[in-house]
């Protein structure tokens, strides 16, 4: 006698009831069919050994999960009763020279909470670098959450490296009674920005400028950990210059998720209230907080080696890439690669790297696209970087050979047009 287990079968894209699956044999056959289908799906996450797309792609280690997260407290963070969360917030506040902290789900959230808690009533405007994350990549949150406008600042005085007091002065809106403009109430800096480090002296100059004009100063410090390591200074040297700082722990620090907002107790009290309003209050967050705490203590000290590896990668690409260039200074963990002068295609490079278990951004790039950002982190090894350089070398050699084969002789370069000789220009693809 057959046993009825479940009268459903997977057919196409929908579940349909059927009497055809009333026997164990039919059920087994269906299960085998499903397994065969799923076995053909891409299993890229099993094959990738190094991911250069972003430092957000680090993975929790077995040690982090078994020895840290499983032993974390399991209190309710909305009730402020989780010891692991409280410990992380206190630890980061101490590291940065501030009174209090607030552990949240993302850097976007901690940035937006800082703005909302600092800018209580409109009209108000914020000054920030036009390339900054808070302006370009936070889904218009400043307008939606804080009812503020942004005056983006172009870094001109320092040739695009970072904004200066001189750049800020051009866009600063004085609260002089002119009702046509929203007065500047806050300046937001980002460090690092596109991998480059804003010097501490510049931050201190902007702090003085903010004080003179009675405006607040916020830091999007998603990678301030990198900036402090690259600058060779204490984290507190940077962060104590700001009224509020957002410090991401899921990028170079390597935690699974999260960001910590720090500031004085009054600011954090307001931010906690707004976090609940935004739907960001979370309950048993202790495991995540414990992982972040562990990463600060264990991964952050390795960051200098990550920066060395980034420079090693950049030097290798320029040495072996036959015209490939690094178009931005390598000051921390980012390498900006341009293949325009090499004859290589970005999508070809991506495919060759995949064969080595390496991923980069812009995998489906158009033929005209030549630039890509490479981001290193603590889970990228020297061996993976050597493999990357080897792929660049091999692909560059193939590209050079193809150019030699396809390039005609000088005699063929000249063609007759209307009785005049014209020089044909051959461009690398």
Domain residue extents for the chain:
1-35, 43-60+301-391, 73-298
Determine the pLDDT at residue 388: 98
Q: Alpha carbon 184 to chain centroid distance?
A: 28
Query: What is the CATH code for 73-298?
Result: 3.40.640.10
- Distance CA(416)–CA(71), nearest Å, equals 81
DSSP conformation letters of 82-133: -HHHHHHHHHHHHHHT-SEEEEES-HHHHHHHHHHHH--SSS-EEEEETT-H
- CA gap 141, 17 in Å, rounded: 46
Per-residue pLDDT, 400: 65
- pLDDT at residue 368, as a whole number: 86
What is the pLDDT, as a whole number, of residue 364?
84
What residues pair up with 152 in beta bridges, in sequence order? 128
* CATH placement of domain 43-60+301-391: 3.90.1150.10
The structure tokens listed for 70 are 């499983």
How many residues does the structure list for the chain? 429
- Burial class for 242, CB neighbours closer than 10 Å (0-12, 13-18, 19+): buried
Q: Where are the alpha helices (DSSP H) in 172-283?
A: 200-212, 224-231, 235-239, 265-277
Say which residues have a Cβ less than 8 Å from residue 415's Cβ, sequence separation at least 6. 421, 422, 424
Express each pLDDT in 226-281 by its tens digit: 999 999 999 999 999 999 999 999 999 999 999 999 999 999 999 999 999 999 99
* Dist CA 290 CA 305 (whole Å): 24
User: By the 8 A CB rule, do 183 and 174 touch?
Assistant: yes
Buried b or exposed e, range 360-385, using 16+ CB within 10 angstroms:
bbbeebeeeebbbbbbbbbbbeeebb
Q: How far is CA 272 from the centre of its chain?
A: 25
- The backbone region for 419, taken as left when phi is positive above 0, alpha when psi lies in -120 to 50, beta otherwise, is left
Q: What are the b/e assignments for 31-44, b being 16+ CB within 10 Å? A: eeeeeeeeeeeeee
> Which tokens go with 185?
């109430």
Low-confidence ranges of the chain (pLDDT < 70): 1-48, 400-429
The span from the CA of 411 to the CA of 421, in Å, is 11
- Give residue 405's pLDDT: 53
CB contact burial 205-237 (16+ within 10 A = b; e otherwise): bbbebbeebebbbbbbbbbbbbbbbbbeeebee
* Strand-strand pairing, 216-220 and 244-248: parallel
Task: Establish how many alpha carbons lie within 13 A of residue 388's alpha carbon, considering only the half-sphere containing its beta carbon.
Answer: 29
Strand partners, 14: 11
The model's pLDDT over 377-428, given as tens digits with 9 standing for 90+, comes to 999 999 999 999 999 999 999 876 666 555 554 444 433 434 433 332 222 2
**Closest C-alpha among 206, 180, 205 to residue 127:** 206
- What pLDDT is attached to residue 119? 96
Cβ–Cβ under 8 Å, residues 82 and 285: yes
pLDDT reported for residue 200: 98
- Which pLDDT tens digit goes with each residue over 293-312? 999 999 999 999 999 999 99
Report d(CA 415, CA 413) in Å as an integer.
Answer: 7
Q: How far apart are CA 254 and CA 54, in angstroms?
A: 11
């Amino acid at each position: 006698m057959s046993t009825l287990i479940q009268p459903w079968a997977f057919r196409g894209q929908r579940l349909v009831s059927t009497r055809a699956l009333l026997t164990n044999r039919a059920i087994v056959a269906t299960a085998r069919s499903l397994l065969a289908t799923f076995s053909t799906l891409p299993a890229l996450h099993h094959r990738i050994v190094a991911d250069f797309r972003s430092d957000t792609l680090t993975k929790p280690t077995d040690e982090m999960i078994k020895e840290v997260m499983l032993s974390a407290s399991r209190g309710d963070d909305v009730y402020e009763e989780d010891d692991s969360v409280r410990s992380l917030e206190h630890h980061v506040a101490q590291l940065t020279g501030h009174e209090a902290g607030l552990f949240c789900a993302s850097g976007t959230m901690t940035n937006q909470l800082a703005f909302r808690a600092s800018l209580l009533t409109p009209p108000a405007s914020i000054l920030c670098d036009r390339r900054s994350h808070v302006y370009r990549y936070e889904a218009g949150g400043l307008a939606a959450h804080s009812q503020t406008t942004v005056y983006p600042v172009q870094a001109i005085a320092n040739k695009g490296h970072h904004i200066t007091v001189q750049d800020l002065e051009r866009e600063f809106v004085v609260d002089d009674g002119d009702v046509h403009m929203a007065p500047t109430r806050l300046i937001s800096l980002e460090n690092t920005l596109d991998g480059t480090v804003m010097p501490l002296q510049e931050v201190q100059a902007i702090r003085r400028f903010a004080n003179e004009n009675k405006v607040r100063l916020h830091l999007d410090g998603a990678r301030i950990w990198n900036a402090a390591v690259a600058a060779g200074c204490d984290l507190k040297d940077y962060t104590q210059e700001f009224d509020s700082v957002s410090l991401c722990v899921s990028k170079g620090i390597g935690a699974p998720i999260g960001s910590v907002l720090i500031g004085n107790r009054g600011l954090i009290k307001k931010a906690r209230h707004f976090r609940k309003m935004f739907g960001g209050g979370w309950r048993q967050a202790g495991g995540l907080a414990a992982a972040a705490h562990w990463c600060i203590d264990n991964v952050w000290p390795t960051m200098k080696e990550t920066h060395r590896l980034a420079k090693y990668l950049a030097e290798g690409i320029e040495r072996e890439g036959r015209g490939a260039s690094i178009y931005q200074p390598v000051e921390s963990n980012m390498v900006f690669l341009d293949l325009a002068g090499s004859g290589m295609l970005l999508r070809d490079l991506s495919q060759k790297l995949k064969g080595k278990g390496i991923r980069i951004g812009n995998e489906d790039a158009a033929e005209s696209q030549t630039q890509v950002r490479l981001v290193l982190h603590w889970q990228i090894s020297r061996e993976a970087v050597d493999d990357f350089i080897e792929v660049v070398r091999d692909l560059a050699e193939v590209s050079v050979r193809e150019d030699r084969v396809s390039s005609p002789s000088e005699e063929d370069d000249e063609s007759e047009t209307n009785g005049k000789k014209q020089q044909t220009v051959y461009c690398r693809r």
